[in-house]
Structure 1
Amino acid sequence: MIRCKRVYEEAARDDGYRVLVDRLWPRGVAKSALVYDEWCKALAPSTELRKAFHSETIDYAAFCEAYSQELTQQPDEIARLKAIARDKTLTLLYAAKGEQHHARVLADVLRE
């Protein structure tokens, strides 16, 4: 099972393996306060793509397409997280507000 959860939500026992998938450390969160198993920057959107989306240069559909393409460049990391998700719950942690965020795209790719 793969879940997405904001870093600002409390950790739960059933979160399983918790992976922070943001390139930047979340604002207002002390490193000692966040419960996570690893920080996987390699699967975060590129800086250029993240900036284009946040500045509304591209819409969410274009972001999803471009990010999915970026993820094809990380087959080993994708395979590793898929293997974790086969054995236990995998929770992707992200800081973005709203429903349109990269963790959803990553979760979809991992479910393929």
Structure 2
Amino acid sequence: MSVRIRRVYEAPEPEDGVRVLVDRLWPRGLAKDAARVDEWPKGLTPSTELRRWYHAGEGSYEEFAERYEAELAAPDAAELVDHVRELAGEGAVTLLTASKSPEESHAAVLARLLQS
């Protein structure tokens, strides 16, 4: 299983495989054709409340990760997690995010969950 994380602003690469945008909002200033996004499951993104809480600096990344994993355990989100896990079982999957620090973002939490 191959799951990696990249910034959506980076140019697509052949080894990306299926490119999955995991942000709720479309990245600013990026043309849809340039992004080459294959899937955009908005149900995999953190809730607006959780995003606001984390970006306001009210909690640690570890607490954010725990809360996000709890959101991903909800039935609708769990179905989407299973779908992306199936894609990863068939070949490479790249999780795309506009986050400036992908290694400390929801994409990293999702990647860990997919690989477990």
Q: What range describes the TM-score normalised by the shorter chain of this pair?
A: over 0.9
Q: Deviations over 1:7-30 (max 9, x none)?
A: 011100010000000011111212
Supply the distance in 2 between the matched residues of 1:87 and 1:103 (Cα, whole angstroms): 20
Structure 1's unaligned 5+ residue stretches are: none
Offset, 1:40: 1.1
Q: More deviation in 29-38 or 89-98?
A: 29-38
Aligned residues, how many?
112
Supply the distance in 2 between the matched residues of 1:75 and 1:56 (Cα, whole angstroms): 27
User: Aligned ranges for residues 1-112 of structure 1 at < 5 Å?
Assistant: 1-73=2-74, 74-98=77-101, 99-112=103-116
| Bigger proportion of residues as helix | 2
Offset, 1:94: 0.4
Q: Deviations over 1:37-57 (max 9, x none)?
A: 011110000000011111101
SS of equivalent to 1:38: coil
Moved over 3 A (4+): none
SS of equivalent to 1:39: coil
Q: More deviation in 100-109 or 72-81?
A: 72-81
Supply the distance in 1 between the matched residues of 2:20 and 2:51 (Cα, whole angstroms): 19
Q: Identity, % of aligned pairs?
A: 46
Offset, 1:33: 2.0
RMSD (Å), alpha carbons: 0.9
